[in-house]
Amino acid sequence: MNRVIALPIKLLSATLLLSVTALAAPRTLEQVKSSGTLKLGTEAAFPPFNFYEGKVLKGFEVDLGDALGQSLGLKVEWVVQPFDNLLISLNQGRFDAVVASHAITPTRQKAVDFLPPHYCSAVNIVAKAGGPLTQKALAGKAVGTQVGTAQIPVLNAIPGIKEVRTYPNDQSILAALQAGRVDAWTSNGPVVAYMLKQTGQTGKILIGEAISNERNAAAVALGNTALHDALSGALAGLLKNGTYAKISDKWFGQDIRCK
Ligand code: ARG
């Protein structure tokens, strides 16, 4: 290629590469500290952990994330994305940590670095009264669950299920269950209990057997060690100094930390 043309092209591709790298690099603890703002990613459709009430982002994990920022002397900026995008966005540096009820799983541990869990919960089978409420009863049935969740491999390992259908969020699965498009729904117990109460379905739709027990945790990008350690230290402080207990009591009337 003609040198006169080649140079501008080289410069252009170098610039493009730089901007891609800048977006792709998660921020270090030092960079977060000097910016004064901690960016946290969440979904905002998983009540009462992270959800919108009108335009206000709320929930146990929102209060906890705000408290984590406060312990580190940082403002918190929330970034909301579909659940299925969150771990990819985390590793692309779109936010510094994710707080969206992820279960710690060996597969995810290869992709991100988890903090110690901020709560433990069961994933339950949910069905209309008279519907399938045990693993055995799921034989021949269609089950709805959220895309990208740890429930999917668990459901796939239960023999006899006719179909595991994925939905963008739990609200759409509840609607599918009510309309009879799926026979059962699986999600974390506290979320189901909250959503059934909110929609007046308690007693009409029932919470059945657990399919798994999870340790639910926040995470940082893989290898972001200094930030991981700073946030883990901050979480340990909140668990110890009564802040965690207060936030948990506000949302659940009890302390939901892992026993
Ligand atoms: N605990 C489940 C998982 O780890 C579901 C989490 C869903 N979280 C959410 N914000 N919708 O896959």
pLDDT at residue number 7: 46
214 lines ligand 1 (CB under 6 A): yes
The sheet carrying 50-53 orders its strands as: 45-46, 50-53, 56-58
- Would you say the CATH fold of 121-214 matches that of 29-120+216-252? yes
- Tell me which CATH code domain 29-120+216-252 carries: 3.40.190.10
DSSP structure string for the chain:
--HHHHHHHHHHHHHHHHHHHHHHSPPPHHHHHHHTEEEEEE-SEETTTEEEETTEEESHHHHHHHHHHHHTT-EEEEEE--GGGHHHHHHTTSSSEEEEEEEP-HHHHTTEEEPSPSEEEEEEEEEETTS--STGGGBT-EEEEETT-THHHHHHTSTTBSEEEEESSHHHHHHHHHTTS-SEEEEEHHHHHHHHHHTT-BTTEEEEEEEEEEEEEEEEETT-HHHHHHHHHHHHHHHHSSHHHHHHHHHHSS--S--
Backbone angles phi, psi at 27, to 5 degrees: -75, 145
Q: What pLDDT, on a 0 to 100 scale, did the predictor assign at position 18? A: 46
Is any atom of ligand 1 closer than 6 Å to the C-beta of 98? no
Question: Considering the domain 121-214, what is its CATH architecture?
Answer: 3-Layer(aba) Sandwich (3.40)
Rounded CA separation 256/242 (Å): 13
What does the domain layout of the chain look like in residue ranges? 29-120+216-252, 121-214
Ligand 1 binding pocket includes 127 (Cβ within 6 Å): no
Among protein residues, the one with the nearest Cα to ligand 1's atom 12 is 149
Nearest-atom number in ligand 1 for the CA of 188 is: 1
Q: What pLDDT was estimated at residue 12? A: 47
Q: Return the best residue to mutate from 101, 107, 120, 126 for the ligand 1 pocket (most ligand atoms within 8 A of CB).
A: 101
Pocket test for ligand 1, best of 99, 102, 170, 192 (most atoms within 8 A of CB): 102
Per-residue pLDDT of the chain (259 residues; tens, 9 = 90+): 445 545 454 444 544 444 444 557 999 999 999 999 999 999 999 999 999 999 999 999 999 999 999 999 999 999 999 999 999 999 999 999 999 999 999 999 999 999 999 999 999 999 999 999 999 999 999 999 999 999 999 999 999 999 999 999 999 999 999 999 999 999 999 999 999 999 999 999 999 999 999 999 999 999 999 999 999 999 999 999 999 999 999 999 999 999 9
Angle in degrees, CA 19, 20, 25, rounded to 5 = 100
Which residue, chain included where needed, has tokens 């740890």? 150
Among protein residues, the one with the nearest Cα to ligand 1's atom 7 is 101
